Structure 1
Amino acid sequence: MSTTTPTPTPGSNKLPVAGPDSVRREAKVLAREYRRGLSAVLGLHGLAAIAGLAGPALIGRMVDDVTAGAGLSEVNKLSAFLAAAIVVQTVLMYAARKQSFILGETVFAQLREQFMDRVVALPLSTVERAGTGDLVTRTTRDVDALSHTVRFAVPSVLVAIVATVLTTIATFAAGWKVALPVLIAVPILWTGTRWYLKRAPAGYLREGATYAVLNGTVTETVDGARTVEALGLGAERRRTVDRDLTSCYQAERYTLFLRSVWFPSVEFGYFLPVAATLLWGGWLAGEGQATVGQVTAVTLYVLQLMGPVDELLSWLDEIQVGAASFARIIGIGDVPNDRTASGAQPDGNEIAAHDVRYAYREGHDVLDGISIDLAPGERLAVVGPSGAGKSTLGRLLAGIHGPRTGRVEVGGVPLVDLELEDLRGHVALVTQEHHVFVGSLADNLRLAKPTASDDELAQALAAVDALGWAERLPQGLDTEVGSGGLELTPPQAQQLALARLVLNDPHTLVLDEATSLLDPRAARHLERSLSAVLDGRTVVAIAHRLHTAHDADRVAVVEDGKVSEIGTHHELVDAGGPYAALWASWTDAPTGPDGSSENSSTVSSEQP
Structure 2
Amino acid sequence: MLPVADAPSVRRYARELLARYPGRLATALGLHALAAASGLAAPRLLGELVQGVHTGTTGWTVDRIAIAIAFFVVVQAVLVNLATYASARLGERVLAELREEFVERVLALPLSTVERAGSGDLITRSSRDVAALSNSVRYAVPEILIAAVTVVLTVAGLIAVAPLLALLSVVSLPVLVLGTRWYLRRAPAGYLRENAAYTDLMDGLAETVEGARTVEALRTAGRRQARTKVDLRRSYRTERYTLYLRTVWFPVADLAYLLPTVATLLAGGWMYLAGWVTLGQVTAGTLYVQQLVDPLDRFLSWLDELQVGGASLARILGVAHVPDDRVPVPEKPVGRQLAACGVRYSYVDGRDVLHGIDLVVRPGERLAVVGPSGAGKSTLGRLLAGVAPPRVGSVAVGGVPLVGLPLPELRGSVALVTQEHHVFAGTLRDNVSLARPDANAVQIRAALRAVDALRWVEALPQGLDTVVGSGGRQLSPAQAQQVALARLVLADPHTLVLDEATSLIDPRAARHLERSLAAVLHGRTVIAIAHRLFSAHDADRVAVVIDGHITELGSHDDLVAAGGAYADLWRSWQADLPRQGVQDGEEDHHGKGHAKGHDQWARVRGGLVSG
TM over 0.5: same fold? yes
Following superposition, the deviation at residue 346 of structure 1 comes to 1.5
Aligned pairs for 1:167-316 (under 5 A) are 167-316=154-303
Contact 1:589 1:597 in 2 (8 A): no
- What letter matches 2:384 in structure 1? L
Name the CA distance, whole Å, in 2 between partners of 1:477 and 1:50.
62
Question: What residue in structure 2 maps to residue 158 of structure 1?
Answer: 145
Residue 1 of structure 2 is aligned to residue 21 of structure 1: no
Supply the AA of the counterpart residue of 2:479. Answer: Q
Match of 2:131 in 1: 144
2:61 aligns with 74
8 Å Cα contact 1:584-1:590 kept in structure 2: no
Q: TM-score, normalised by structure 2?
A: 0.93
Partner of 1:345: 332
Q: Does 1:467 align with 2:454?
A: yes
Cα deviation code 1:218-244 (max 9, x no counterpart): 222222333334444444333332322
Alpha-carbon shift at residue 597 of structure 1 (Å): 5.9
Q: Deviations over 1:155-191 (max 9, x none)?
A: 1111211111111121122112123221111011111
- What amino acid sits opposite 1:357 in the alignment? R
**Partner residue of 1:538 out of 525, 529, 540:** 525
- The aligned runs of 1:367-382 (5 Å cut-off) are 367-382=354-369
Cα distance in 1, alignment partners of residues 504 and 294 from structure 2: 64
Mapped partners of 2:207, 2:390: distance in 1: 28
Partner of residue 121 from structure 1, selected from 94, 108, 130: 108
Matched letter for residue 587 of structure 1:
Q
Aligned to 2:608: none
Is 1:477 matched up with 2:464? yes
**Structure 1: where are the runs of 5+ without partners?**
1-13
Matched with 1:59 is 46
Matched, 1:570 2:557: yes
Partner residue in 2 for 1:450: 437
Q: Distance in 2 between matches of 1:474 and 1:582?
A: 46
Shift of 1:605: 4.8
Of stretches 184-193 and 145-154 in structure 1, the one that deviates more from structure 2 is 184-193
Q: Distance between the aligned counterparts of 1:312 and 1:470, measured in 2?
A: 59
2:422 is aligned with 1:435? yes
Instruction: Give the whole-Å Cα distance in 1 for the aligned partners of 2:335 and 2:48.
Output: 90
SS for the counterpart of 1:70 is coil
Whole-angstrom distance in 2 between the partners of 1:296 and 1:290: 10
8 Å Cα contact 2:370/2:543 also seen in 1: yes
Counterparts of 2:456 and 2:278 in 1: how far apart (Å)? 91
CA distance in 2, matches of 1:310, 1:456: 64
Q: 1:333 aligns with which of 309, 316, 320?
A: 320
- Equivalents in 2 of 1:62, 1:484: separation in Å? 66
Equivalent position SS for 1:27: helix
Tell me how far 1:598 sits from its aligned partner: 8.1
- Distance 1:598-1:539 versus aligned 2 partners, 3 A rule: closer
Identity %: 58
Q: Give 1:179's aligned amino acid.
A: A
**1:43 is aligned to 2:30:** yes
- Mapped to 1, the partners of 2:90 and 2:351 lie a distance apart of 51
Q: Is the 2:18–2:94 contact (alpha carbons within 8 Å) kept by the matching residues of 1?
A: no
Amino acid at match of 2:199: A
What is the distance in 1 between the residues matched to 2:358 and 2:503?
27
Name the residue aligned to 1:403.
390
**How far apart are 1:148 and its partner, in Å?**
0.7
Distance in 1, matches of 2:166 and 2:548, equals 78
8 Å Cα contact 1:188/1:269 also seen in 2:
yes
Shift of 1:579: 2.1
Q: SS at 2:5's partner residue?
A: coil
Question: Displacement, 1:321?
Answer: 0.7
Q: Which amino acid in 1 is paired with 2:132? A: A
User: What is the alpha-carbon distance in structure 2 between the residues aligned to residue 367 and residue 110 of structure 1?
Assistant: 42
Provide the residue aligned with 1:4 in structure 2.
Answer: none
Q: Give CA deviations for 1:266-312 in whole Å, capped at 9, x if unaligned.
A: 11111121111101100110111110000000000001111111110
- 1:581 matched to which residue of 2? 568
Pair 1:567–1:42, CA change in 2 (3 A): same
The alignment status of 1:550 with 2:559, answered yes or no, reads: no
Give the whole-Å Cα distance in 1 for the aligned partners of 2:179 and 2:249.
6
> Quick check: 2:423–2:480 contact (8 Å CA) kept in 1?
yes
Query: TM-score, length-normalised on structure 1?
Result: 0.94
Deviates more, 1:552-561 or 1:141-150: 552-561
For residues 175-225 of structure 1, the C-alpha deviation after alignment (integer angstroms, 9 at most, x for no partner) is 121232211110111111111111111111111112112212222222233
CA distance in 2 between counterparts of 1:307 and 1:267 reads 11
| RMSD (Å) for aligned C-alpha atoms | 1.9
How many Å separate the matches in 2 of 1:237 and 1:528?
42
Contact kept, 8 Å, 1:546 with 1:605, in 2: the verdict is no
What is residue 410 of structure 2 aligned with on the other side? 423
Distance 1:135 1:352, change over 3 A: same
Match of 1:95 among 45, 67, 82: 82
Q: 1:381 to 1:141 in 2, by over 3 A?
A: same
Q: Which runs of 5+ in 2 are unaligned?
A: 605-611
Retained in 2: the 8 A contact 1:585–1:605?
no
| Partner secondary structure for residue 394 of structure 2 | strand
Residue type at the aligned position of 1:209: A
Task: Determine the C-alpha separation between the residues in 2 that align with 1:187 and 1:272.
Answer: 11
The 8 Å contact of residues 28 and 87 in structure 2, kept in 1 or not, is answered as: yes
Q: Which stretch shifts more, 481-490 or 98-107? A: 481-490
Could you say what secondary structure the match of 1:425 adopts?
helix
SS in 2 for 1:332: helix
**Number of corresponding residues:** 591
Is the CA contact (8 Å cut-off) linking 2:155 and 2:166 kept in structure 1? Answer: no
Tell me, yes or no, if the aligned pair for 1:178 and 1:284 is still in contact at 8 Å.
no
| 1:24 alignment partner, SS class | helix
Contact 1:383–1:605 (CA under 8 A) maintained in structure 2: no
* Amino acid of the structure 2 residue aligned with 1:202: A
Q: Give the aligned residue type for 1:217.
A: G
